[in-house]
Amino acid sequence: MSNRSNLDISAYFVVGPENTKNRPVAPIIKDVVDAGYTCIQIRSKTASALELIELTKEAADVIEKAGRADEVTLLVDDRLDVVLAAKKMGIKIDGIHVGQSDIPVEICRAYLGEDAVIGLSARTHDLFDYIKTADVSLIDYFGAGPLHETETKPDCGTGADGKVITRSFEELAELAKASSIPIVVGGGVKLADIPQLAETGVDGFFVISAISEADNPRAEAEKLIEAWKENYKRKKV
Ligand code: TZP
Ligand code: MG
């Protein structure tokens, strides 16, 4: 089955070399894959194209060795060139995540084909109207947030006045109801947020620093996913 038809964005880890306190990225990805995460996104604003390709290779190898290639979706942030190059080199990469100012989703879909997973960060202003009216025919999920301001991406959620707009749990619950495609929420998400976030009905959480900067990334990854599963399940019953 392709990762598009069984896409699971419930536990979603985003990472690049600038997020790991100078530790290698691959062992942290292994920790997260072993902890049961379903989506890995390689994201770096500093790495070269070659470094990004190498990172996708390492991530794909980790996923493959864990026997989870059919369950874990591997994406790259922004860099259509890197995704195309990695695919050409035989690396199992499943798709791309883009923002509102990145390569348009039409172009991503045209280059990557029908099987690729394409995620799109939702617009910050007019978020609710946007979610209700956006053409979602070419994309697989929305990223939304931030839940809190975050040093990892200080401009996340910046509104027209330059101030960051964070989203309350109530707003996220409304968003989950309004969207016709899955929504993953991140931006400053920490363990203490997970129970309430799971209860909003959104489809998943994404984190960088909660795991990538932890002294023990594996232990932290496990705590986050367990809290998600526990509270998401409770919402469903
Ligand atoms: N997109 C929106 S917020 C964000 C990204 C990539 C950063 C999230 O990082 P953290 O450390 O989990 O706040
Ligand atoms: Mg982007």
Give me ligand 1 centre to Cα 154, in Å: 9
- Residues, CB-to-ion distance under 5 Å, ligand 2: 78, 99, 102
Cα angle 18-58-208, degrees, rounded to a multiple of 5:
35
Distances (CA, A) of 150 to 42, 135, 158, 178, 195: 18, 29, 11, 25, 19
Give me ligand 1 centre to Cα 208, in Å: 6
State the closest ligand 1 atom to the C-alpha of 206, by its place in the atom list counted from 1.
12
Give me ligand 1 centre to Cα 237, in Å: 30
Sorted by sequence, the CB contacts under 8 Å of residue 79 that are 6+ apart come out as 49, 52, 96
Alpha helices in 154-216, H assignment, sequence order: 169-178, 194-199, 209-212
Mean pLDDT of the chain, nearest integer:
96
Structure confidence at residue 233 as a pLDDT band (50, 70, 90): confident
Number of helices followed by number of strands (H, E) in the chain: 9, 8
First to last CA, the chain: 28
For ligand 1, atom 9, the nearest C-alpha belongs to: 208
Structure confidence at residue 3 as a pLDDT band (50, 70, 90): confident
pLDDT per residue as tens digits for the range 152-166: 999 999 988 889 999
Instruction: Let me know: does 205 contact 194? Beta carbons within 8 Å.
Output: yes
pLDDT at 125: 83
The pocket around ligand 1, CB under 6 angstroms, is made up of 14, 43, 145-146, 150, 152-153, 156, 186-189, 207-210
Mutation test residue for ligand 1: of 150, 165, 167, the one with most atoms within 8 Å of CB: 150
DSSP 189: -
For ligand 1, atom 3, the nearest C-alpha belongs to: 187
Tokens 């489809």 correspond to what residue? Answer: 203
pLDDT at 16: 98
For the cut 90, the answer to whether the pLDDT of residue 1 exceeds it is no
Report residue 136 as tokens. 């979602």
Work out the average pLDDT over 90-100.
98
State the closest ligand 1 atom to the C-alpha of 146, by its place in the atom list counted from 1.
3
For the cut 80, the answer to whether the pLDDT of residue 235 exceeds it is no
For the cut 80, the answer to whether the pLDDT of residue 62 exceeds it is yes
CA 229, chain centre distance (Å): 17
Catalytic residues: 43, 121, 153
Give me ligand 2 centre to Cα 66, in Å: 29
For the cut 90, the answer to whether the pLDDT of residue 38 exceeds it is yes
